[in-house]
Structure 1
Amino acid sequence: MTYPATTDLCDANEDRIATGALRVLAPGWRSFGGLKGFAGPAVTLKAFEDNTQVRTILGEPGEGRVLVVDGGGSMRCAMVGGNLGVLAAKNGWAGVLVNGCVRDTRELAACEVGIYALATHPQKSVKANGGQRDIAVQFPGGVVRPGDWVYADEDGVLVSDISLG
């Protein structure tokens, strides 16, 4: 799938940035998946150091959507690893955006899905079946709501209230 470059979207939508309809998330995202860029409508999840719901959601048909995981920016464990990367690719997810850490980076790099996160951590998360799905999540730089469009590439991550093509 092709996706527009985030730089081009910013240049063409300065008015939407000014109104907050297009949000530029704070820098610092790193690409870990086999695809270096992706775009799609957001499915949101807020889950702190517990990836049980991440697995559940990625087990569903992705239909080109992006799973946006608000892990609270935790640097104490990974929310996505190699098995979940394989699951996301197999089920047709365009991407996974994690406000937190991932692990199994060699495995993630072999998956045909975009995966962006803040850092890596070798320890897995707990399994307590916690989390809230389909709610607005606050990321550094802006809020992400269910159905918002997420655009990610090597230059950054954007969130729009509508598809920008």
Structure 2
Amino acid sequence: MTPTHLATTDVCDAHPEAQVCDPVFRSFGGRPGFSGTIATLKVFEDNALVREAVQRPGEGRVLVVDGGGSLRCALLGGNLAVAAAENGWAGVVVNGAVRDADEIDAQPIGVRALATHPRRSVRGLHSGQAGLPVLFAGVAFREGEWLCADRDGVVVLPAAPGDDG
């Protein structure tokens, strides 16, 4: 397992091929820096798949949720952040909004999102897909690739530095 203390600046210096996200995210959660293998979801204003994902073992992975950039409701809140932390997810990156910011900040997990919004997501749309490549913030996120985040930004590599493939 790759250490979670790798700095994004060091990763970028050592790997000029790294994809670097546009600086659009706000930082939440008790871990300002986190890294792990990517698991992807594509949803829109329905967090049912997010709930299912964080209730499964995270095994140090980072859940990348493409919520279409919608800021009309939150896709992750305090209860799901607790589940993610308890189930071993290193972090969650949301192309959308979160809520219960104070509750998320109390959890030992890193979260990046575009904004906060007090409204919960719509329930029952049952829309979305898991495991697809998703594109936002100028980066293509693919299942199985590696993401590193800290206060300087979010970067993605095909594999964790030092992995033999």
TM class by smaller structure: over 0.9
Where does residue 87 of structure 2 map in the other structure? 91
Match of 1:35 among 24, 31, 38: 31
Secondary structure of 2:71's counterpart equals: coil
TM-score, structure 2 as length reference: 0.93
Where does residue 105 of structure 1 map in the other structure? 101
Aligned Cα root-mean-square deviation (Å): 1.0
The answer for unaligned runs of 5 or more in structure 2 is none
Where does residue 117 of structure 1 map in the other structure? 113
Does the CA-based 8 Å contact 2:25-2:112 persist in structure 1?
Answer: yes
Secondary structure of 1:79's counterpart equals: strand
Secondary structure of 1:27's counterpart equals: coil
Q: CA–CA distance in 2 between the matches of 1:105 and 1:142? A: 25
Q: How many residues align?
A: 159
* CA deviation after TM superposition for structure 1 residue 140, in Å: 1.9
Does the CA-based 8 Å contact 2:71-2:117 persist in structure 1?
Answer: yes
The answer for unaligned runs of 5 or more in structure 1 is 17-21
Q: Deviations over 1:41-100 (max 9, x none)?
A: 010000011100000000000000000000011111100000000000000000000001
TM-score, structure 1 as length reference: 0.93
Please list, as runs of the form range in 1=range in 2, the aligned pairs for 1:36-55 lying within 5 A after superposition. Answer: 36-55=32-51
Following TM superposition, the consecutive aligned residue runs of length 4 or more in structure 1 with deviations greater than 2 angstroms are none
* CA deviation after TM superposition for structure 1 residue 164, in Å: 1.5
